[in-house]
Amino acid sequence: MLKFLESFSWSGMAKVCSRLALFFLLASAAQQPVFANDYEATFRQLGFQQALNIRGVNGQIAVPFSVRADEVVISASVDLMYNFSPSMLDDLSHFNIIVNGEVVESVPLRKDNAGKTNQRNVEIPVRLLAQFNRLSLELIGHYTLGCEDPAHSSLWLNVSNGSMLRLTTSSLPLNDDLSLLPAPFFDERDRLPMVTPIVFAGAPNNATIEAAGTVASWLGGLASYRGYSFPVTIGNLPIDYNTIVLMLPGQSVPGLNVPAMNAPRLTMAVHPGNSSKKVLVISGRDEKDLKTAVKALVLGTQSLNGTTLTIEDEVKLNPRVPYDAPRWVSSTRPTKLGDLVTPSTLQVSGQYPDLIRVPMTMPPDLFFWQADGIPLHIKHRYTLRSENDKSTLNVSFSEKFIRAIPLQSEQEIWRAERWLRDLLGKPLSTNQASVKIPREAFSPNGQLQLYFHFEQPQKDQCADVPLSNIQAAVDQESYVDISGFPKYMHMPDLASFANAGYPFTRMADLSETAIVIPAQVDSTALSNLFVLLGRIGDLTGLPAHGFTLLRPNDLKTVQDKDLLLLGNLESDPILQEWAESMPVTLNDQTWNVKTGGGFRSIIDQWIPAIRDESVAPVTSLTLRGSEPAGLMMGFESPLSSDRSIVALLGSDQGVAQIIDAMLSPEDVQMIRGSVVFSKVGSVGSVLDEKTYSVGSLPLLTWIRYHLSSNVLLNILFLLGAAFLFAFVFNRVLKRKAAQRLEKRS
Asked if residue 719 has pLDDT above 90, the reply is no
- Dihedral sign of CA atoms 684, 687, 692, 694 in order: positive
Mean pLDDT over 210-218 rounds to: 96
* Residue (of 397, 378, 398) closest to 480 by Cα position: 378
Which strand ranges, in their side-by-side order, compose the sheet holding 590-593?
584-587, 590-593, 620-622
Q: Is the pLDDT of residue 350 over 50?
A: yes
Q: Is pLDDT at 701 greater than 60 in this prediction?
A: yes
What distances in angstroms separate CA 274 from CA 53, 175, 231, 480, 720, one per listed residue?
A: 44, 14, 18, 49, 79
The backbone torsions φ and ψ at residue 656, rounded to the nearest 5 degrees and listed phi first, read -60, -35
Closest-CA residue to 699 (of 486, 505, 433)? 486
CA distance 74 to 88: 37
Domains defined for the chain, CATH in brackets: 36-171 (2.60.120.260), 178-310 (3.30.379.10), 335-456+467-480 (2.60.120), 488-694 (3.30.379), 699-731 (no CATH)
Q: Which amino acid appears at position 34 of this protein?
A: V
Name the least confident of 277-286, 517-526, 716-725: 716-725
pLDDT digits (tens, 9 = 90+) for 113-151: 888 999 999 999 999 998 889 999 999 888 888 777 777
Report pLDDT for 470: 82
CA-based torsion, 185, 241, 648, 499: positive or negative: positive
What is the reported pLDDT for 323?
Answer: 94
Of the candidates 703, 630, 701, 710, the one whose C-alpha atom is nearest the C-alpha of residue 671 is 630
Q: Is 11 helix (H, G, I), strand (E, B) or coil?
A: helix
| C-beta pairs of 337-345 under 8 Å, 24+ apart in sequence | 337/448, 337/474, 337/475, 337/476, 337/477, 337/478, 337/479, 337/480, 338/476, 338/477, 338/478, 343/476
Q: Closest by alpha carbon to 282, among 316, 255, 317, 253?
A: 253
What per-residue confidence (pLDDT) applies to 494? 92
Using CA atoms, how far apart are residues 504 and 509, in angstroms rounded to an integer?
9
The beta-strand segments (E) located in 132-273 are 132-140, 156-159, 164-171, 194-195, 198-200, 228-229, 232-234, 243-247, 265-271
Element (H, E) at 730: helix 711-744
Report residue 3's pLDDT band, with 50, 70 and 90 as the boundaries.
very low
Question: What backbone torsions phi and psi does residue 12 show, to the nearest 5 degrees?
Answer: -65, -40
The Cα–Cα gap between 558 and 721 comes to 44
Quote the CA–CA distance of 131 and 190 in Å, as a whole number.
Answer: 10
In whole angstroms, what is the distance from residue 223 CA to residue 434 CA?
A: 34
What percent of the chain clears pLDDT 90, i.e. is strictly above it?
40
Render pLDDT for 536-565 as a digit per residue (tens, 0 to 9).
999 999 999 999 999 988 888 888 899 999
pLDDT of residue 4: 37
Among residues 571, 531, 563, 535, the alpha carbon closest in space to that of 547 is found at 563
- Which pLDDT belongs to residue 687? 72
Judged by average pLDDT, the poorest of 69-78, 237-246, 384-393, 607-616 is 607-616
DSSP 399: T
- Which pLDDT value is given to residue 267? 94
**pLDDT-above-70 percentage for the chain:** 84
Give residue 585's pLDDT. Answer: 77
**pLDDT higher than 60, residue 440:** yes
> Tens of pLDDT along 34-66?
457 888 889 988 878 888 888 877 788 889 988
Of the candidates 497, 490, 535, the residue with the CA atom closest to the CA atom of residue 645? 497
Across 507-530, average pLDDT? 94
**Residue pair 278/268 in contact by the 8 Å Cβ criterion:** yes
* Predicted pLDDT at 196: 95
**What pLDDT is recorded for position 148?**
77
Is the Cβ–Cβ distance between 295 and 273 less than 8 Å? Answer: no
In a 13 Å sphere around the CA of 184, the CA atoms on its Cβ side amount to 26
- Whether pLDDT at 505 is above 50: yes
Q: Which residues touch 729 (CB under 8 Å, ≥6 apart)?
A: none
Answer yes or no: is pLDDT of 616 > 60.
Answer: no
What are 655-700's pLDDT values in tens digits? 999 999 999 888 888 888 888 888 776 777 777 667 888 888 888 8
Model confidence band, residue 427 (pLDDT cutoffs 50, 70, 90): low
Q: Where are the beta strands (DSSP E) in 415-496?
A: 430-437, 445-453, 471-474, 479-480, 488-491
The SS3 assignment for 356 reads strand
pLDDT in tens, 364-399: 999 888 888 899 999 998 887 767 778 899 999 988
> Which H helix or E strand runs over 661?
helix 652-663
- Between strands 71-84 and 164-171, the pairing is antiparallel
pTM: 0.81
Residue 573 is predicted with a pLDDT of 82
Task: Assess whether pLDDT exceeds 80 at residue 720.
Answer: yes
Instruction: Yes or no: say if 57 and 95 are a contact pair by the CB < 8 Å rule.
Output: no
pLDDT band, very low/low/confident/very high, at 421 (cuts 50, 70, 90):
low
Provide the pLDDT for residue 422: 64
Backbone angles phi, psi at 556, to 5 degrees: -65, -20
CA distance 143 to 236: 64
pLDDT, averaged across the chain = 83
Residue 61, beta-bridge partner list: 137
H helix or E strand, kind and range, residue 279? strand 274-283
> Lowest-confidence range among 141-145, 487-491, 538-542, 606-610?
606-610
Verify cis geometry, omega within 30 degrees of 0, for the bond prior to 486.
Answer: no
Return the pLDDT at 475.
92
pLDDT in tens, 251-294: 989 888 888 788 999 999 999 988 889 999 999 999 999 999 99
> Bigger pLDDT: 490 or 416?
490
